[in-house]
Structures are given as structure tokens and as C-alpha cells.
């Protein structure tokens, strides 16, 4: 069976396929079909915070799959109730939750909740923002490469400069339902927000009667050194969207909801699979691991260690190293596609964040020895002369 040929023949064509067949994972490592080990610094775009093959999550999935896989949320369930208690305890002031299946669905729900709650239609988002690919989330996403070919998008969305308090202040008026922001822009280039900006966003929303939506789909569950990135900023949003690593790799999303969100009555929104017992059991186990093994604390310590090592790389090709916790971007002076290709040849899997930023999102369980291996490979690659890919 030629796996690559089959996928190329029958796939929709919407993914740029790598010439690499991955069949197994363990911790921060991935293994190809020939048994070669790769250091995973992509984590499935931030999904594998717990690493691959976590036994506690796997056991929870097996046990629940043998008990009850699916159940619509109209019927209460033990696993769902347990998860509701756990996840709403993670952020003060957000004591309700809507479960769904992905990050973009969480953003769609957040947009609907904001419009329904305020009776307003308009949403302010940030330039460079990425919130998903379904129509509402895509309308909040800035980069034209994701938007072109799909217009007209949902009306009522506008974008302002990120980290620019004056621009945000001018954009938010009494017609704005919500401001939606990433605390660290992931796809947009790994740009952390300033404390002043996030605190100003909270104040501006309060003054104008708008809701503050914080998108933690990539930053949530320990990635930045706190359970959620917003906890670095001393601000509580009205709505927080999360997904990716919530259920240890099982598809799941959630919207955490504060007291300023009104009018959420039965029937205003729903999803067939949201809050199903299988995903909830996986998420319960994942949160137990994240909390029990202090993965946020590990991310803070390991992220600081990695950041120091990266900043010490002496290369004229590096423009800046930035990030938070184990969410780090290396901005280069040229396109990064050749660097990523060479890193993969050295058994390191990493991502881009735009054309010129190498994005590192390793599992939070990555060891210091693996970090040293990563730094050694990056030092060799980033200090060499690379031919730009067109």
C-alpha cells in the first residue's frame, strides 16, 4: 500500500502534503513508517500539549468508549458534569461553558453569544489575527490569503492594529457587540500582546458596553506558562474560547462564559457531538495530567530555558526571538520554508507563522535533553546560508 499515493489520489487537495508518513508518537517524539524518530515541535498546531501516547488519556478513552460514546447534551452525564466543574474552576469569573468540537466552532459560538447578548451586530478584531476558517471565524481572521475566494464574508467585522490602544479606542463604540483578541497571535507571527493593551481592551469594552472575547485556542492549557495566557495579564474576559489540547488530542472545543453574557436560552445554539461522554472523559483525564504534573509550570521553566538558548544563537539571519512559555517564534530576515525543510531533514518538525517566522510549539513534556537537541539543530541551520524558496 502506497500511503502517500493513496492520500494524493483521494484527498481533497486542501493540504500541502509532506513526504513523511507518521505512524506513532510517544512523548515529544513522532515516528515514521520506517521507525525513524522526529522531535515534534509542532504538536499538531498546538494540540499535543501532553505529548503523544499519554497513557492516562488513552485509558480514559478506552474505558469510556466501552461504556458510552455519545449523548446529546439535553441528557445530563457524569463525565460532562465532572468536566464542567473542572474547566470552570480554571478561570475566576467564567462559571458557564458551552462544549463543541473545534476551535473555529468555539469562535462561531462566541460571536453568536456576543450578538445575542448585546443586541449589537459589529465585531472588532485585530490585524494579523487568526480565529478559524468557518465563515464567522474567517470574518474575524485578517490575512487575505485565508479570505480570498470566499467573499462575501459575514458583515459587521472590522480590524485594527494589534497592540495599538488608540486604534482600538477609536474603533469601539456603542454599536460594537464584542472585541475578539488573541493574547499571543499564533498564526499571525507569534506576537504577544502588551499588558497595557489587554487591560485597555477590558476598560474600553466596559465603557462602551461591548464584550471582550479572548481566543485561547492555541495558547490555552499551559502552553504559555499559565493555564490560560490571559492569566499573565490580570484581566478576566467575558468569553474565552479554547480547544486544541483540551481533550489530549481528541477533537473538542469549549466556550467559557462570564456573567455579562445574557440571553442564553435553550435552543439558541447547539451541536450534535459537543460535550459527548468520550471527549469529556478524555478532557477530564487531560486536565488531571496538566494540573497534576504542573505542565503550565513546566512550560514556563522550559520556555525560559529555550528562549535564552535561542537568543544566544549568533546569526545575522535572525531578526527577533519572541513568545511566551513554550510558544516561541524566530523571525528571520528571509523566508523560512528552506529552514523548515532542512530542520525536517535533521529530524525536527516545526511550523511557520507567516512567511518569515519559525514557530515552535513543542509538547509541554519535552525534556531538557530534547530542547538541547532542538537548539543544536537550530544553531546549525540558522547560522548557515540558505537559499530562499520562492
**DSSP code for 17:** -
Looking at residue 270, its pLDDT comes to 97
Domain boundary among 292, 314, 331: 292
Per the structure, how many domains does the chain have? 2
Residue-by-residue DSSP string for 296-315: HHHHHHHHHHHHHHHHT---
Query: Is 319 exposed, middle or buried, given 0-12, 13-18 or 19+ CB atoms closer than 10 A?
Result: middle
The residues near 2 (Cβ < 8 Å, ≥ 6 apart) are none
Assess if residue 242 is contained within a domain. yes
- 358 contacts 339 by C-beta, under 8 angstroms: yes
Per-residue pLDDT, 381: 96
Q: Quick one: 288 and 298 in the same domain?
A: no
DSSP of 244-265 = GGGGBTB--EEEEEETT-----
Classify residue 390: in a domain, yes or no: no
Helix axes 78-88, 277-292, angle to 10 degrees: 40
Dist. CA 346–CA 374, nearest whole Å: 10
The conformational region for residue 120 under phi > 0 = left, psi -120 to 50 = alpha, else beta, is beta
Tallying the residues shown for the chain, one arrives at 390
Asked whether residue 221 falls in the same domain as residue 243, the answer is yes
Task: Write the CATH number for 357.
Answer: 3.90.1150.10
Residue 68 lies in a domain: yes
pLDDT at 384: 83
Residues 282 and 247 in one domain: yes
Residues 119 and 47 in one domain: no
**Residue 338 and residue 247 share a domain:** no
Collect the ranges in the chain with pLDDT lower than 50. 388-390
Residue 343 lies in a domain: yes
For 55-98, the pLDDT digits (tens) are: 999 999 999 999 999 999 999 999 999 999 999 999 999 999 99
Residue 260 lies inside a defined structural domain of this protein: yes
Question: Which of 275, 292, 309 is the last residue in one of the domains?
Answer: 292
pLDDT at 386: 58
Longest alpha-carbon distance in the chain: 62
Instruction: Give this prediction's pTM.
Output: 0.96
Are 184 and 92 contained in the same domain? yes
CB atoms within 10 A of CB 266: 7
Check whether residue 77 and residue 212 sit in a common domain: yes
Q: For residue 97, how many other CB atoms are within 10 A of its CB?
A: 19
Is residue 387 domain-resident? no
- What is the SS3 assignment for 41? coil
Q: Are residues 279 and 349 in the same domain?
A: no
347-380 residue pLDDT tens: 999 999 999 999 999 999 999 999 999 999 999 9
Q: Are residues 193 and 274 in the same domain?
A: yes
Point out which residues pair with 358 in neighbouring strands: 330, 352
Number of Cβ within a 10 Å radius of residue 53: 14
Domain that holds residue 213: 55-292
Instruction: Take residue 297 and report the three cell numbers written for it.
Output: 509550570
Domain membership of residue 388 (yes or no) is no
Same domain for 134 and 244, yes or no, is yes
- The CATH number of whichever domain residue 149 belongs to comes to 3.40.640.10
Are residue 62 and residue 85 in the same domain, yes or no?
yes
Q: Read off the C-alpha cell for 9.
A: 489520489
Same domain, 264 and 345: no
Amino acid at each position: 500500500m502506497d500511503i502517500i499515493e493513496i492520500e494524493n489520489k483521494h484527498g481533497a487537495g486542501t493540504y500541502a502534503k509532506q513526504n513523511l508518513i507518521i505512524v506513532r508518537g510517544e512523548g515529544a517524539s513522532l515516528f515514521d513508517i520506517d521507525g525513524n524518530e522526529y522531535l515534534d515541535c509542532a504538536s499538531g498546531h498546538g494540540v499535543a500539549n501532553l505529548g503523544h501516547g499519554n497513557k492516562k488519556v488513552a485509558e480514559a478513552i478506552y474505558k469510556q468508549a466501552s461504556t458510552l460514546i455519545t449523548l446529546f447534551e439535553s441528557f445530563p452525564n457524569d463525565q460532562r458534569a465532572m468536566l464542567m466543574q473542572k474547566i470552570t474552576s480554571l478561570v475566576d469569573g467564567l462559571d458557564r461553558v458551552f462544549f463543541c468540537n473545534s476551535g473555529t466552532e468555539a469562535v462561531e459560538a462566541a460571536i453568536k453569544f456576543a450578538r445575542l447578548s448585546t443586541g449589537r451586530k459589529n465585531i472588532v478584531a485585530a490585524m494579523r489575527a487568526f480565529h478559524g476558517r468557518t465563515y464567522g471565524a474567517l470574518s474575524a481572521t485578517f490575512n487575505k490569503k485565508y479570505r480570498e475566494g470566499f467573499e462575501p464574508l459575514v458583515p459587521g467585522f472590522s480590524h485594527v492594529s494589534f497592540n495599538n490602544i488608540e486604534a482600538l479606542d477609536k474603533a469601539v463604540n456603542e454599536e460594537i457587540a464584542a472585541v475578539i483578541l488573541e493574547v499571543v497571535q499564533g498564526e499571525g507571527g507569534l506576537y504577544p500582546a502588551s499588558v497595557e493593551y489587554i487591560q485597555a481592551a477590558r476598560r474600553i469594552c466596559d465603557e462602551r458596553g461591548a464584550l471582550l472575547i479572548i481566543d485561547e485556542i492555541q495558547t490555552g492549557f499551559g502552553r504559555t506558562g499559565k493555564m490560560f495566557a490571559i492569566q499573565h495579564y490580570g484581566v478576566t474576559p467575558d468569553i474565552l474560547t479554547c480547544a486544541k489540547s483540551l481533550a489530549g488530542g481528541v477533537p473538542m472545543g469549549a466556550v467559557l462564559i462570564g456573567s455579562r453574557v445574557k440571553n442564553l436560552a435553550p435552543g439558541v445554539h447547539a451541536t450534535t457531538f459537543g460535550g459527548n461522554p468520550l471527549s469529556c472523559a478524555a478532557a477530564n483525564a487531560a486536565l488531571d495530567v496538566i494540573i497534576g504534573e504542573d505542565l503550565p509550570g513546566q512550560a514556563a521553566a522550559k520556555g525560559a530555558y529555550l528562549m535564552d538558548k535561542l537568543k544566544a544563537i549568533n546569526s545575522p539571519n535572525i531578526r527577533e526571538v519572541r513568545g511566551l512559555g513554550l510558544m516561541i517564534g524566530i523571525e528571520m530576515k528571509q523566508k523560512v520554508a528552506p529552514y523548515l525543510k532542512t530542520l525536517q531533514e535533521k529530524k525536527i518538525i516545526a511550523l511557520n507563522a507567516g512567511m518569515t517566522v519559525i514557530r515552535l510549539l513543542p509538547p509541554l513534556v519535552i525534556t531538557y535533553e530534547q530542547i538541547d537537541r532542538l537548539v543544536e539543530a537550530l544553531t546549525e541551520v540558522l547560522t548557515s546560508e540558505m537559499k530562499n524558496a520562492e
